[in-house]
Structure formats: C-alpha cells, structure tokens
Structure 1
Amino acid sequence: MSEITMDTTELGEKIVKVLKTVYDPEIPVDIYELGLIYDVLVNEDYEVKILMTLTTPNCPVAETLPVEVEDKVKSIKLVKDAEVEITFDPPWTQDLMSEEAKLELGML
C-alpha cells in the first residue's frame, strides 16, 4: 500500500485556503486577507508552523483564534501536527491588509 504524498507547496496552498475560512469576529474579513498570517512553514513530515499576529495584543480573541487556526489546519488530511506562534513583531497595521480586505472595509 503506497502512502499518498503531496509536495509541501501544494499543502501550503491548502493551508492558505483553510486560513481564509477563519475570520476575526470584529472585522468581516478573513485573517489571511487581514494580513494576520506572517508565515506558514511546512516541513517534510507535514508538520506545520504558523506565525501570526493579532490586530492588538489585548484582542478579545487572543485565546480562541490561535486554537481555531490550529484545529482547522490539523483537520487537513496529511497534516501531522500544527502549531501557531503569536508574535507582535512587527506589530500589525492596516498596511498589511490585502487590497481585497481594504476594498471590503471601504478603505479604498
């Protein structure tokens, strides 16, 4: 029985699709388009590390959002493990938002 394999780039794209289903409850835009995801790292063993930030250090979802991100990424087939690391370096600014997010929020 052969094991299904996928290259890490393809898996990374699947992870981004899942990240786009996670929303900041205060802003009607997904966390990826908001620019809260700084990096997605996938190693050869399909273990994922996500470096993300929050809109503010005392964000009301600071406890729940990273857990939601981890759980959703872990639910992807082939992902063995997922870890979310929160950073505030660099701090999040509206400049990190995609054009799509800015348009959605009427900022363009």
Structure 2
Amino acid sequence: MTTPQEIIRIEQDIVLTLKNIYDPEIPVNVYDLGLIYEIDVEPDGTANIRMTLTAPNCPMADQLLEEINENVGKVKGVSSVNVVLTFDPPWDRSMMSEETLLDLGLF
C-alpha cells in the first residue's frame, strides 16, 4: 500500500517523465503542450492519465501513447499505466503553458 506522500512523489515523477516526451509534430513536450488533463496514481501503483491530442486524427497518436505508456511505466512506484484518451474538452493553444507560448512566439 502506497502512502499519500509516496503518491505525490510518484505523480511528480510522472510529470517530470512527461516533460521529456515530445509531440512528434510540435517541438514541445506533452505536459507543457497541455495534452495531459489529469494524473491520478492509485494506492496499488496504477497510474491513470487522462489526456488528449492536438487533433483527433493525429497520425502519430499510437506512437505517442506507446511512448507515454512505456516511459511512465518505468517510474519508480508505478505498477501499471492506464492512458485514457479524450477529446472533451478539445485541445486548443490556450492549454499550453505560458513558457511554451513564449518559446513558440505565440504570447
């Protein structure tokens, strides 16, 4: 059984991991791009990630989801990964971090 403090650490480590996974079409990581809607780690170590894509017909969706599953699964304390893809709400550039908007010259 994982303690609440351990769950917080695992979730922080997942965020760091996601900040190293880049959208294949935009040179920005999936976290700062605003594609990650929710990260919830259960006491048994299951990491539930609710996310979206920049477009529903993203040709790189399978590759991106596989990379997220594989890398989050390596985070210490994660026993399994459950990625749920949603398009509600649909992604738009307002979901990007301010730093990303500045980096891309969109702010």
TM-score (norm 2): 0.93
Rg (Cα) greater in structure: 1
Q: Which position in structure 2 is the counterpart of 1:105? A: 104
Is the contact between residue 29 and residue 104 of structure 1 (CA under 8 Å) also seen in structure 2? no
How many residues were matched structurally?
106
1:77, distance to aligned residue in structure 2 (A): 1.8
**What do the CA deviations read for 1:10-69 (whole angstroms, capped 9, x no partner)?**
110000000000000111110000000000010111110100000000111111111110
Mapped partners of 1:107, 1:76: distance in 2: 33
Q: Which position in structure 1 is the counterpart of 2:30? A: 31
TM-score (norm 1): 0.92
Higher helix residue share: 2
**3-state SS, counterpart of residue 9 of structure 1:** helix
Which consecutive unaligned segments of at least 5 residues does structure 1 have? none
Is the contact between residue 35 and residue 53 of structure 2 (CA under 8 Å) also seen in structure 1? yes
Which consecutive unaligned segments of at least 5 residues does structure 2 have? none
Query: What RMSD over aligned residues (CA atoms) do the two structures have, in Å?
Result: 1.6
**3-state SS, counterpart of residue 63 of structure 1:** helix
Mapped partners of 1:102, 1:24: distance in 2: 15
Identity rate of aligned residues, in percent?
Answer: 47
